[in-house]
Structure 1
Amino acid sequence: MSRPFSRRTLLVAAGALAGALAACSPGEDGARSGSGEYEFTEPTPPATVLAEDQRAQAPAFSGELLDGTPFDSSSLAGDVAVINFWGSWCVPCRVETPEFQAVHADVAARGVQFLGIDVKDQRQMAVAFVERLGVAYPSVFDPRGEVAMAFRGFPANVVPSTILLDRDGRVAAVYTGQVRGADLRTAVELLLAEDQR
C-alpha cells in the first residue's frame, strides 16, 4: 500500500512552488500590469515605497467591518492608507498590531487611514483580539480572503501582510510578513511628504 504523498513528492512540489515564487519579479513596470491595474510582483523592501511611476491603481473592494457595518474602499480616497492583513491566530500579528496602533495614533489626523483585514478567522475571536490590544482603527471581517484576491497575485496566504496606498489610490508598497513600527512610520512619512513637493 503506497502513501498518498511521499517525502520526495513533497520536496519536488515545494521546489516547484519556490521556483514559481522566485519567478514573480517585477518587469520594467514594477507593480503595473499591461492594463495599469495593480498586480503583485514582489514585496517592497522595508521602510521604502515604490517610485510614483511604478505604482498601479489598487482594486476596489468592499465588505463588512467586525461590528457588522458595511465598508467600501472608496472611503479611503484622498488619504494615505495602510491596509493590514491579520488574524487573531497569527503570532506575529500580536507583536505587530500594537506597533501599528501606535503609528495610527500619531498620523491619523494627518490624512492617514488604517484598515485591518481579518482573514481565516472567527468574528468573536477577532473582536476579542482588537479589544484586548486596544486597536482603534476598523477591520473588515474577511474569513475567505476575498479582499486579498482582489489584489491580483497578492500572496493571500502570507499573514501578516501590509499594503500602503498613496493619496491617489495607487499601491505604493507591499510588505509580506511582520512589519516593524519604525519601518511603517518611515514609509508613511515618505508618502505624506509627496504632497509637500
Structure 2
Amino acid sequence: MSLSRALVRRRSRSTSGRALLLTAVTVAGVMTLTSCSDADGGSKPSNSSGGNYVTGAGGISRVAKGERADAPRLDGATVDGKTLDTATLKGKVVVLNVWGSWCPPCRGEAKYFAKVSKEMTDAGQDVAFVGINTRDNSTQNAVNFEQDYGITYPSLYDPDGKLMLRFPKGTLNPQAIPSTIVLDKEGKIAARTLVAINEEQLRSMIDPLLAEK
C-alpha cells in the first residue's frame, strides 16, 4: 500500500470517529432535555402530540369539554408499598404529577403541590392528587423526597415509565419530567403542562374543572 493511500484511510477513520462522537453527544443532549424540563413555568412546550387543544399562558394546554379523550387506567404499587388504581377516583378531578427525586424542576414545584393538595383536601373539595414517580432506582429516594417536601398524597412507582406509555397518542400525554395532567370528573384528559408550575398555575388547571357541571 502506498503512503498516500494509508494517510487517506487514517483520515477517513478519524473523521468517522469524530462523527460518531458528535452524534452520541447530540443524542445525549436531547435525552437530557426531554428528561427534565426547564424550571421556568412560562416557557411554551411544542404541541407535538396533536389533538384539539389550545396552549395558553404558562405552557398550559386545555381541551374543550366535548373534545376530551379518556385517560388510561393507571394502577400498581405506590412508593410507600401500597397499591392504587385511578379507576376508583372517577367522579373527582384528578391531578397527575409526573416527577422524579433527581429532577431539579420537580423539587422546585413540589411545595406548591403539597400546599394546594392539603388545602383542597382539608376543604373537602372533589379533587384527588396522584404522583407518578419515574426513573428513580429505588423507592427510598422517592419516599425521602415526599417527606422532605411534605407530599402526603400517593405516588405510583413507575421507574421504567411504563405507566406514561399508557396514554394514547394524539392526546395530551406526558412527554417530559415534570409533567402535570388534570382529568375532569368523568376521567377525561382536560389539561396538561410539560413544565414546572407554581401555585397559581396549578389552581388555574383545577378550579375550572371543579366548577363544571
1:190 aligned residue: 208
Structure 1 segments unaligned to the other structure (5+ residues): 16-20, 32-41
Q: Say whether 1:76 aligns with 2:86.
A: no
Identity %: 35
Query: Could you tell me which residue of structure 2 aligns to residue 35 of structure 1?
Result: none
In 2, Cα distance between equivalents of 1:101 and 1:8: 41
> Does residue 26 in structure 1 map to residue 39 in structure 2?
no
Q: TM-score, normalised by structure 2?
A: 0.73
Other-structure match for 1:138:
154
- 1:104 maps to which residue? 117
The 1-side partners of 2:191 and 2:47 are apart by: 19
- The residue aligned with 1:162 is 180
Segments of structure 2 that go 5 or more residues without pairing to the other structure are 1-12, 31-44
| Secondary structure class of the residue paired with 2:160 | coil
Question: What secondary structure does 1:78 align onto?
Answer: coil
Secondary structure of 1:135's aligned partner: coil
- Give the aligned length: 177
Shift in Å at residue 23 of structure 1?
7.5
1:64 counterpart = 2:82: no
Please give the alpha-carbon distance, in whole angstroms, between the structure 2 residues aligned to 1:22 and 1:66.
Answer: 31
Query: Deviation of residue 43 (structure 1)?
Result: 6.0
Corresponding residue number in structure 2 for 1:178: 196
Q: 1:94 aligned to 100, 103, 107, which one?
A: 107
Tell me the TM-score normalized by structure 1: 0.79
For the aligned residues, what is the CA RMSD?
2.8
Question: Which of the two has higher C-alpha Rg?
Answer: 2
Per the TM alignment, residue 24 of structure 1 is displaced from its structure 2 partner at its CA by 2.7
Amino acid at match of 1:118: N
Q: Secondary structure in 1 aligned to 2:208?
A: helix
Aligned partner of 1:49 in structure 2 is: 62
2:133 equivalent among 118, 124, 134: 118
Distance in 2, matches of 1:63 and 1:8, equals 37
Letter in 1 for 2:194: T
